[in-house]
Amino acid sequence: MRFEDWDVLLFPRDCKVPVKEFKVACHVIHDAEINSSHGSFGLPTVCCFIPSLPAGTPFQVSIHSWSSPTVSQFTRCYSKYGDDANFEARVFVDGQLVASARLDQDKDWPHIIVHSFDLEPLRFPSFRQELLRQNHWHPADNFGRIKIVISEGFPRDSLSLPMERVKNVVAFSFQHAPLEILENSCIAWPNPSMWRRIP
């Protein structure tokens, strides 16, 4: 999925073909994570549906910027060490933080995240059957999603808090479900229903 020049893709591990994305849309949600004293921000959140991989399948996150990303003036002015400001990407599965990486602006893109905090491969989560019984959908939901949040901030000498985040730039939310469910819901294509709509 793409937002401005940020581009995030999911791949099965050791595969060169990214996971297909359907029904891509962008929403602005309330950003409850950033302290209101830093300013009031909405968080652009790009959402899509993807076919589930088998639970436990290793996968990787590819983060690319098609131009050299620039930290916002707001973040640079937040600290007297404005030149140290940088980007960070965090990976959440079902709302749980599983991995993070500093996005060094001077290194080659894309940045690839393949391991969780415990140095194990990122593994695809199980499909949540409870989602089929939900009668609502909200772009801020975490359940049944793989989310990547790109933030601006300042590096810190701390293993528990390696980045002092000042601003979340964008979130990418991948909601996964078995392909047949996406097809039967007319989310994924081709699907049987699309052929029945021929005039």
What is the mean pLDDT of the segment spanning 156-183? 90
Provide the pLDDT for residue 6: 97
CA distance linking residue 71 with residue 152, whole number of Å: 7
Domain residues for the domain of 28 are 2-196
CA distance linking residue 141 with residue 54, whole number of Å: 22
What is the mean pLDDT of the segment spanning 143-172? 89
CA distance linking residue 148 with residue 92, whole number of Å: 6
- AA identity, residue 190: P
Please write the tens of the pLDDT for every residue from 58-105: 999 999 999 999 888 888 887 776 678 899 999 999 999 999 999 987
**Percentage of the chain exceeding pLDDT 90:** 66
Average pLDDT over the chain, rounded to whole? 91
- AA identity, residue 109: W
Handedness of CA 130, 62, 59, 120 (dihedral sign): negative
- What's the burial of 13, exposed, middle or buried (CB within 10 Å: 0-12/13-18/19+)? middle
Provide the pLDDT for residue 40: 59
Grade residue 10 by pLDDT with cuts at 50, 70 and 90.
Answer: very high
Provide the pLDDT for residue 39: 56
- The number of distinct structural domains making up the chain is 1
Grade residue 35 by pLDDT with cuts at 50, 70 and 90.
Answer: low
Tell me what percent of the chain is helix, strand and coil, each rounded to the nearest 5: 15, 40, 45
Assess contact for 68 and 37: CB atoms under 8 A: no
Beta bridge partners of 193: none
Is the model more confident about 37 or about 31? 31
Grade residue 28 by pLDDT with cuts at 50, 70 and 90.
Answer: very high
Please write the tens of the pLDDT for every residue from 122-139: 999 999 888 888 888 999
State the DSSP code for 183. Answer: H
Which uninterrupted H or E stretch holds 198? Answer: none
Q: Is the pLDDT of residue 38 over 60?
A: no
